[in-house]
Structure 1
């Protein structure tokens, strides 16, 4: 929908209020419900929003190392601007209009450095300037529990009841138990303009996987971000709590957020990753793109694995990669090439977990691929065959958030990709996250050391 059509719809519709939301650094949607008049009044100059949303973590605890905003600045308002092209109606909330927003600035004024959507818009603009149309999609795995927010707290997040028991990957039986929930997910998301290619159970009790239909890169990230919150909201209405934690249980598979990516001609008519005359039908451009992603990956791992918990998923034999590898249709590597036909030739980035901020993960994927093209990197490493966990020719991924954050903070590669200001802001938030974990005493420690040591 174009801008004038969106304005006309709001002006003429029989509504009294509008929702708008934006993703913070953790990918959490923050926003407000505002009156129709306030919506119309703020279209030119934006809406004041307390900049604490860039100065606290996912639990609303202020950072102690923030430089962008903090107690020292008094947490003033910053202007958030609605993107009128993102208008959709929320079908499970009586059709209330919803817009996505960001902290992008008009003209040549620098964007708010912390805003993930603004960062992705900048990377997408670079892609267009290089002559490419980026087509992206993210898929997610998540676990569902027959719980409520209140019962989670009362149980201390222990002894939770999964939606269905047992390991039933790709089951046709288990979804029939929750037919109403499944239909509301598929149909509700479609009506919400977050159309799915597929929805199925994964292996594990109460775990689902959904693939979102591909789109232009910024719209794809919008849909991925909305998908996570929409799933949770739909689940609430069925007495279910959905979690996108990377690894909620050590004995069960983790939850991925794989990113599918391809570059096309500006008019979208030709997939530039496909070349029937080349070995394995992989174009020279695609080889440079893969080389860039492999080169940059160890420098920017926190963009794909942003929490302490992320690294519990990135372990051998858990359907998630641990090595800096690529392959032809091999699910044990960091990058997986799918190239059976031109229409579907793409690179699947398998490091990214379900706990990612889609704007940041997709920005990192695109920026690192463009880095390879810009620097004309050669893909000197052959594709992995067999067990990618054993292929350490090109190095391994960081094993914890603290180490990954230190590497990114000191990396000239990260600074080139995203700008030193964003890298400084983002790595400060990840350093905070790692330190919050380091100071905790876990159940594992109590059971292991309490009596015997």
Structure 2
């Protein structure tokens, strides 16, 4: 009754604010928003008994094709699952009058959770951190291209990072920033990035699931609103071979669950880093290869990981080293945290956070030791092990890493690996323009 009363109060408040519809959103395996739109007078009923959704939604590939063998399609006769709104995530959709949205969790019809859902995977890992005495503070930092909606070409060329004229070259930037702020995304900086028509809009961190929810809202807003404005926004890792890639830097630190103190900080350490910070970072390095499918989930992602591109190419860490996989932000104060720089801009924020957290927690549980910091930029050190160059190799590393698999959960991995192998089969079967141009005449 108390919960029903709460839902009723929420709906009354929404009506008072002019709401006509509420969009029930599911973050899918790719980080894309899948949703159904509900008239306001139907919201209470669906909130209390769940909203039906095709059960294989999490098992669609990047072309939205049904993938067999995942456990969510033919195995359950293509049955429905149910969406359950988390009203803590309720926000307006500023560019559609009367529209609100809420992020949902997913269960089977018997009420058991769909453990393949990325939001479930991250929540489970946050619970794991809590059992060790920690809260997790994190944030995502994305790069994206803003393109002409018809030609799909950049609006300007050249390397103009931080150039004030380029920062606001496109008229849609200010409406985009306004829409993000209206949804509770606490913007902190905006600037153009390293390539022409590439941008970065940063927002503040949060504790726990709210951080990934905010990143999900950010990406979905950039995609949808830019489309409404006549543009095409893309977080694709490497749209062009000769232009900068789009990365996602996952910022993460641990807080003492009771006191809120920064568990990565040790004022007595020469670098200000605690043993917790070092073991957590060592976990990321140890399980880096197994992390890669989650933070680089498409073949295109691996074009980005090359030296001299401000993207990591090897398994490495360094204090303030922009070429390292883990850039330690050792500020010797409460802001101390790490920045994991290997994720692609197109990666699912729940899964990039889950991969980073799972590897770090393994470092704590197993007491890993962090290797000494190398001299000079990490990318110049040939002794460091390279990151995988292909998605196939990364998937093999994940499949071989029993510790990571145990933390991520087999229900999730069955769906994820099956979908990724399906996509790779389609990718390898495709004849590219390069092949035709290279071979048609000479052979």
- With the shorter chain as reference, the TM-score category is over 0.9
After TM superposition, the structure 1 = structure 2 runs for residues 30-69 of structure 1, keeping only pairs within 5 Å, are 30-64=34-68, 66-69=69-72
Q: CA deviation at 1:5?
A: 5.9
Structure 2 residue aligned with 1:388: 378
1:214 equivalent in alignment to 2:217: no
Alignment of 1:23 with 2:24, yes or no, is no
- Return the alpha-carbon distance in structure 2 between the equivalents of residues 452 and 106 of structure 1: 59
- Give yes or no for contact 2:160–2:194 (8 Å, CA) kept in 1: yes
Query: Would you say 1:411 and 2:412 are equivalent positions?
Result: no
Q: Which residue of 2 aligns with 1:228?
A: 219
Name stretches of at least 5 consecutive residues in structure 2 with no aligned partner: none
Shift in Å, 1:21: 0.5
3-state SS, counterpart of residue 395 of structure 1: coil
The correspondence for 2:196, drawn from 197, 205, 216, is 205
- Structure 1 residue 182: deviation in Å? 2.3
Aligned 8 A contact 1:6 1:85 in 2: no
Match of 1:161? 153
Quote the Cα distance in structure 1 between the aligned partners of 2:133 and 2:278. Answer: 17
Change (3 A) 1:72 1:285: closer
How far off is 1:229 after superposition? 1.3
Per-residue deviation at 1:11? 2.5
Return the alpha-carbon distance in structure 2 between the equivalents of residues 26 and 360 of structure 1.
Answer: 9
RMSD (CA atoms): 2.1
In 2, the alpha carbon distance for the partners of 1:194 and 1:95 equals 19
Write the deviation string for residues 350-385 of structure 1: whole angstroms up to 9, x where unpaired.
011101000111011111111111111111x11233
Tell whether the 8 Å contact from 1:253 to 1:319 is kept in structure 2 after alignment: no
1:202-241 Cα offsets, whole Å, 9 max, x none, are 1111000122210013111111111111012222233211
Pick the aligned partner of 2:134 from 132, 141, 144. 132
State the SS of the aligned residue for 2:100: strand
The more displaced of 180-189 and 254-263 is 180-189
1:25-424 equivalences under 5 Å are: 25-64=29-68, 66-103=69-106, 110-147=112-149, 151=150, 160-178=152-170, 180-267=171-258, 269-379=260-370, 381-424=371-414
CA 1:384–1:111 in structure 2 vs 1: closer, same or farther (change >3 Å)? Answer: farther
Per the alignment, do residues 442 and 54 of structure 1 end up closer, same or farther by CA in structure 2, a change over 3 Å counting? same
- How many Å apart are 1:345 and its aligned residue? 0.8
C-alpha separation in 2, matches of 1:114 and 1:419: 8
User: Following the alignment from structure 1 to structure 2, what is the Cα–Cα distance between the partners of residues 235 and 419?
Assistant: 36
> How far 1:181 sits from its partner (Å)?
2.1
Rounded to whole Å, the distance in 1 between the matches of 2:155 and 2:242 is 17
Contact 1:136 1:215 in 2 (8 A): yes
Matched with 1:441 is 431
Partner of 1:157: none
- Per-residue CA deviation, residues 166-188 of structure 1 (Å, 9 max, x unaligned), is 2210111112433x422212222
Is contact 1:163–1:240 with CA below 8 Å preserved after alignment? no
Cα pair distance change 1:439/1:106, threshold 3 Å: closer
1:5 and 1:336 map into 2 onto residues whose CA distance is 44
SS across alignment from 1:343? coil
Secondary structure of 1:382 counterpart: coil
Contact 1:6 1:87 in 2 (8 A): no
**Per-residue deviation, 1:95:** 4.7
Asked if structure 1 preserves the Cα contact closer than 8 Å seen for 2:290 and 2:404, the reply is yes
Aligned length: 438
* Pair 161,112 (structure 1): closer, same or farther in 2 beyond 3 Å: same
DSSP 3-state at the match of 1:298: helix
